[in-house]
Amino acid sequence: MIMTDRIRENSGIVYNVVQSVILAMSVLLVCWIGNKVIQQGEILSSLGAKIGDTAVRLEILELHGSRSLETHVKDDDSRVAAIGVRIDKIESAIIALQNAATELKAVNVQLANLKEGQERIERVLEKEAPKPTQSKP
């Protein structure tokens, strides 16, 4: 029975040591988790402040607009207008070129009529022109 009494005494000490170690580890784990929660809270609060600043900037942009963005849009609008003018000029040039073929044919016909008229006039003049007389020496 001496062994059982000794084992009982030693088991109480071992139990107390194991319980103390488990308690110390639990306290350490709770402290570590608490530290991580505090770090996450700091990160979230800094992100919340950044989101708040960004929301304020967005409100200002929505209410008042951005000068640089406005000038960029105006530049783009002027470029688009200039391109529209160029396209109109190109379209009118294409239409003029399409009509030029028929106009050239009409001019060619008129030139042919003028040539025929000139040839008729020359024939009539040749018939009516007095023939030069030869002088006697």
pLDDT of residue 85: 94
Q: Kindly state the percentage of the chain with pLDDT values over 70.
A: 91
Say yes or no to pLDDT of 69 above 90: no
Instruction: Kindly indicate the confidence band of residue 132, based on its pLDDT and cuts at 50, 70 and 90.
Output: low
Question: Which of residues 71 and 38 earns the better pLDDT score?
Answer: 38
Longest Cα–Cα distance in the chain: 188
Tell me the pLDDT band of 52, cut-offs 50, 70 and 90: very high
End-to-end CA distance of the chain: 188
pTM (whole model) above 0.75: no
| 49's tokens | 């402040």
Q: What pLDDT does residue 66 have?
A: 78
User: Between 4 and 50, where is the model more confident?
Assistant: 50
| Phi and psi at residue 58, to the nearest 5° | -65, -40
14, 91, 114, 121, 125 from 118: Cα distances, Å: 139, 40, 6, 5, 10
Does 103 have pLDDT greater than 80? yes
Taking the CA atoms of 7, 13, 16 and 17 in sequence, report the sign of the dihedral they define: negative
Measured CA distances, 102 to 17, 22, 94, 108 (Å): 113, 105, 14, 10
Query: What amino acid is encoded at 27 in this protein?
Result: V
| Residue 58 confidence (pLDDT) | 87
What is the pLDDT, as a whole number, of residue 83?
Answer: 94
